[in-house]
Amino acid sequence: MGYDFTQQYIDGAWVDSTSGAFIDVENPATLERFAKVPQGSKEDIDLAVAAARRALPQWSQVPLSERVEMMKSMLAHFKASESTVVDLLVKELGAPIAFARTKHFGFQSVRVQSYIDLVQTIEFEQKFAHSTVYREPIGVIACVTPWNYPIGQVVQKIVPAVLTGNTVVLKPSQHTPLSVYLMIEAFEKAGFPKGVVNLVSGKGSELGDYLTTHPGVDMLSFTGSTRVGKLLAQSALGSLKRISLELGGKSPFVWLPGIEDYRPAVRKLFESIFMNTGQTCTALSRLIVPRSELAAVEAVLKEEAARYTVGPTFDESTMIGPLSSRAQFEKVKSYIELGLREGARLILGEVPANSDQGYYVKPCIFTDVTNDMRIAQEEIFGPVLCVIAYDTVDEAVAIANDTIYGLSAAVWAPCKNEAKRIARQIRAGNVYVNDGPRDVSAPFGGMKESGLGREAGVAGLLEFTEYQAIFDDVA
């Protein structure tokens, strides 16, 4: 691969960590420890935050048109690094190469371009009868991201934050820290002033709290589990930092009665629950089906699942790779065992035997699930689908909403309007209706314990700003 990840990016330079220690990065498909990154220290965080603070006054005054031009250049440099980034994503996450190329890499360019386009539509200054109201950058943003979409989660934070005049300190997940280096390098090549973007790699348990409570930080932008999000948010609230949280989910797919062709609905469902080996925050992990159609739906689920090949990550035809780590493997395995103990019935898949040949788990489908089971309530974060039967549509909606989460959902019906009517009754930040595609210009984020605030679209840009009203006109 010929790439060096042994330094961090602070104040416009690649520097050693003061810790002198490193974290190994493992390929979950081969169990090979193939790279290492610095185990960042609290001193590194101090240096990065100080750099971001120093850069802030000037960066926040740079005209939007210049920020936009730099971001376009960043995108061009990032696109040019495709083959290296895809290679790293396959190795650090265990993403199948075709999926790494399209969703983990290609889709991120669409996102960056969307932010570039939309930021130019925002009125950062509005005149009212006796005042001018400005949208001001919040300041120094601590960005803490998870491992499941290593580039995607970073893009959702640092691109809108920097475009709106903030400076950032990024701490990506220690499990997938490599591909992010190429994005930071693209910022460097694009000529962003020193201190605007800083990267500190390291363990969340050691650095996360220190970074998010740091007196030099104005906002915490966190993506990860609901458990850690709540902990960090509580700490950050100590000094009333602005907080944005993108957290977990247990998203429902509501299947309304009378669908003629089951296959498109099943494919939409599997795209969500099986791709990325089920490690997607928005994974539609609960299928809620009419009891009268249960057997017929189960038959099509089994048939269609055969298309989802599990295999080596560098094989172009592989659709499902390994889980991302031993911890993930153990967690998903224990949930499959739990499902059997809770009385659910596996119609596809099995308890994985061991992980000597990579952290592989075949797709699993549990039926006879009731919504009070733990496998229906807790985020498994693997390719495990729970099928839950209902008798009336009101009951289906109640089951869909009977969760602490509210990130995503889908409704499929013979008639799109009916699906849309039901979609409006579901307490989730994003709801897919039939085969409706994802729209990156719409706000993304969760209701209930799935988060606070929104990413993507204009809302995702304004998340990094706050109002300042200047009372300037005497009537």
Q: Is 132 exposed, middle or buried (0-12, 13-18, 19+ CB in 10 A)?
A: middle
Please identify which residue in 185, 246, 298, 463 interacts with ligand NAD, judged by CB under 6 A.
246
Token pair, residue 129, equals: 């009868």
* Candidates 222-230, 313-321, 366-374, 386-394; binding stretch for ligand NAD (CB under 6 A): 222-230
Establish if 249 lies at the interface with ligand NAD (CB under 6 A).
yes
Say whether 364 is catalytic.
no
What would the two tokens of residue 244 be? 């944005």
What are the two backbone dihedrals, phi and then psi, of residue 34, each rounded to the nearest 5 degrees?
-110, -5
- The interface mask with ligand NAD, positions 432-461, x = CB under 6 A, is --------------x----x----------
Binding ligand NAD (rule: CB under 6 A), the pick from 248, 321, 339, 382 is 248
- 407 makes contact with ligand NAD (CB under 6 A): yes
Cβ atoms 406, 428 nearer than 8 A: yes
User: Shortest Cβ distance from residue 233 to ligand NAD (Å)?
Assistant: 11
For residue 379, state whether it binds ligand NAD (rule: CB under 6 A). yes
Phi, psi of 112 (to 5 degrees): -60, -45
Q: What is the DSSP letter of 104?
A: I
> Angle, to 10 degrees, between the axis of helix 204-212 and the axis of helix 226-237?
30
Please identify which residue in 96, 137, 150, 208 interacts with ligand NAD, judged by CB under 6 A. 208
Q: Pattern of binders to ligand NAD over 125-154, x per CB under 6 A?
A: -------------------xxxxxx---x-
CA dihedral 187→189→195→196, nearest 10 degrees, is -30
Which residue in 26, 185, 246, 298 is the catalytic one? Answer: 246
x/- contact string, 347-376, with ligand NAD (CB under 6 A)? Answer: ------------------------------
Min dist CB 171 to ligand NAD, Å, is 6
CA 327 to chain centre: 19
**Of the candidate residues 39, 223, 251, 371, the single one contacting ligand NAD (CB under 6 A):** 223
Residue 321 vs 451, nearer CB to ligand NAD: 451
How many C-beta atoms lie closer than 10 Å to residue 262's C-beta? 18
- In whole angstroms, how close is the CB of 143 to ligand NAD at the nearest point? 9
**3-class DSSP state of 251:** strand
Binding mask 313-352 for ligand NAD (x = CB under 6 A): ----------------------------------------
Residue 247 makes contact with ligand NAD by CB under 6 A: yes
* Nearest one of 303, 357, 412, 454 to 31, comparing CA atoms: 357
Q: Binding ligand NAD by CB under 6 A: which of 161, 220, 281, 320?
A: 281
Backbone dihedral region for residue 368 (phi beyond 0: left; psi -120 to 50: alpha; all else: beta): left
Q: Which two tokens stand for residue 13?
A: 């330079």
228 binds ligand NAD (CB under 6 A): yes
Query: From the list 18, 30, 225, 425, which residue makes contact with ligand NAD (rule: CB under 6 A)?
Result: 225
The full length of the chain comes to 475
Work out the burial of residue 82: count CB atoms within 10 Å of its CB; fewer than 13 is exposed, 13-18 middle, 19 or more buried.
middle
143 is catalytic: no
For 247-283, list the strands marked E by DSSP: 251-255
Q: Cα-flanking dihedrals φ and ψ of residue 74, to 5°?
A: -55, -45
What is the SS3 assignment for 392? coil
Residues acting as catalytic residues: 246, 281
By the criterion CB under 6 A, which residues form the site for ligand NAD?
144-149, 153, 171, 173-174, 204-205, 208-209, 223-225, 228, 231-232, 246-249, 281, 379, 381, 407, 446, 451
